[in-house]
Amino acid sequence: MADKDSKLPENAPGKFYVDDQCIDCDACRATAPDNFEREDEKGYSYVIKQPGDETEYQLCIDAMEGCPVEAIGDDGED
């Protein structure tokens, strides 16, 4: 389970985030490419943009559920 205290600093403010457990597998970027981006130098993903509509929201949920190391979290904030 993702840890709010370990959120990566690049995450856009809001509900979804990636923490420091990310292994740069590309699953979230493949699932929700408009919302997740890769930090090339450090080799991890982060939330570039919070979902703007229901479709993006569902894709972020799918990315969170599909993360192999559970590095994507939903802190309940909007």
- Return the biggest CA–CA distance within the chain: 32
pLDDT at 7 > cutoff 80? yes
Q: What's domain 4-74's architecture?
A: 2-Layer Sandwich (3.30)
Kindly indicate the confidence band of residue 77, based on its pLDDT and cuts at 50, 70 and 90.
Answer: low
Residue 31 and residue 65: Cα distance in Å, rounded? 11
pTM: 0.94
54, containing H or E segment: helix 54-66
What percentage of the chain reaches a pLDDT higher than 90? Answer: 94
Residue 45 and residue 11: Cα distance in Å, rounded? 9
CA distances from 77 to 44, 50, 58 (A): 23, 11, 16
State the pLDDT at residue 75: 84
What percentage of the chain reaches a pLDDT higher than 70? Answer: 97
